[in-house]
Amino acid sequence: MALPKIGISVGDINGIGLEVMIRTLADQKVLSFCTPIIYGSTKVISYHKNLVPGTRFTFQSIGTPAEAQSGKVNVVQCWVEDVNIQLGSSTAEGGKFAYLSLEAAVNDLKAGQIDGLVTAPIHKHAMELANFTDIGHTEYLGRRFEGSEPLMIMVSDTLRVGLVTGHVPVANVASLLDKDRILGKIRAMNASLKVDFGIDRPVIAVLGLNPHAGDEGLIGREDDEIIRPAIIEAKKSGILAVGPMPADGFFGSRAYQKVDGILAMYHDQGLIPFKALSFGSGVNYTAGLPVVRTSPDHGVALDIAGKRIADAGSFRHALFLCLDVIRQRATYAEDHANPLVKSKGKLRYRDDDKEED
């Protein structure tokens, strides 16, 4: 059976993305689980390889994913010109080549030439300098896969935290919340927990927006007038959603250990507790897409770029989560291809008129 082909975008060439990538793929055991395909430049990869001495990292250049060989790290050349690498700096050139890598990888992902995508971190300012118009990977993928409603979920061994709003100023969060938006995110998380994570009846805790979840309207009315009605509507469709939960008490009491997923209203509400509990092993997963995309839970870390101290743990977890979700989606599709359903008190296959006793 062929190993899954996993595309990897290089991210910002001035950050730690290539270092953690090289450290991960230097492990031969990793190559027994997938066929990695890096979208970048052999020159840039060689430069970063020389910054990580002692690693058994080798690669080969290919033209298309069809040429990729298992047991090896494969590189699709996205550019051939020389690049001015400025470790630790945010530059337009760094943004340009991160963009080229991402575009090439997503093009092949859409074409079905690779089975999943792991994205190394990008620097938002550098991407803006390179005329990248989306605020981040999640928004970019939502635009590239029209009709999808991506949901950012931070994943670790013990937590799955989704966000209703993403990279927006805190001052704008309340104005972006409405019942339909929250309900849509609850449904998206419920579907992902079932299809992507194999949880039959997931329980989702929905966090409130205001301190003490509004305290019955004394500290804001969004919790009672917007969030609670969305939860009630979700319950009517059979989703096991609870809340709105006061965020501080929810995490402080370790109530997160009793649910399968958590839906936060805004970025820091969800990511501060997530990273406090799971930093270094967490993964950014984009649910709601027809494809599988993951990313490490850290940024470009310009302050330690080139210092040979970057921890590759999160990137490794991102790669393995990508593989896990690919397998789980295949299992879900197989299990639901001919599900047994009730018909006149008996069981029959959905696509078969013959009744089964």
For residue 198, give the CATH number of its domain: 3.40.718.10
Distance in angstroms (rounded) separating the CA atoms of residues 231 and 205:
10
Judge if 217 and 251 occupy the same domain. yes
3-class DSSP state for residue 119? strand
- Residue found by looking up tokens 């500290």 in the block: 219
Whole-number pLDDT of residue 261: 98
Domain range spanning residue 230?
151-287
Whole-number pLDDT of residue 1: 73
pTM of the model: 0.91
Judge if 159 and 143 occupy the same domain. no
Judge if 81 and 112 occupy the same domain. yes
**Where is 105: in which H helix or E strand?**
helix 92-110
The closest alpha carbon to 242, from 257, 230, 231, 255, belongs to: 231
Work out whether the CA dihedral 96, 100, 101, 105 comes out positive or negative.
Answer: positive
Judge if 144 and 194 occupy the same domain. no
Q: How many domains does the chain have?
A: 2
Judge if 180 and 200 occupy the same domain. yes
DSSP annotation of 357 reads -
| Domain end call among 287, 306, 335 | 287
Digit-by-digit pLDDT tens for the chain (357 residues) are 799 999 999 999 999 999 999 999 999 999 999 999 999 999 999 999 999 988 889 999 999 999 999 999 999 999 999 999 999 999 999 999 999 999 999 999 999 999 999 999 999 999 999 999 999 999 999 999 998 989 999 999 999 999 999 989 999 999 999 999 999 999 999 999 999 999 999 999 999 999 998 788 888 899 999 999 999 999 999 999 999 999 999 999 999 999 999 999 999 999 999 999 998 899 999 999 999 999 999 999 999 999 999 999 999 999 999 999 999 999 999 888 876 654 444 444 444 444 333
Distance in angstroms (rounded) separating the CA atoms of residues 170 and 182:
17
Q: Are 98 and 63 in contact (CB under 8 A)?
A: no
> Could you report how far apart the first and last alpha carbons of the chain are, in Å?
36
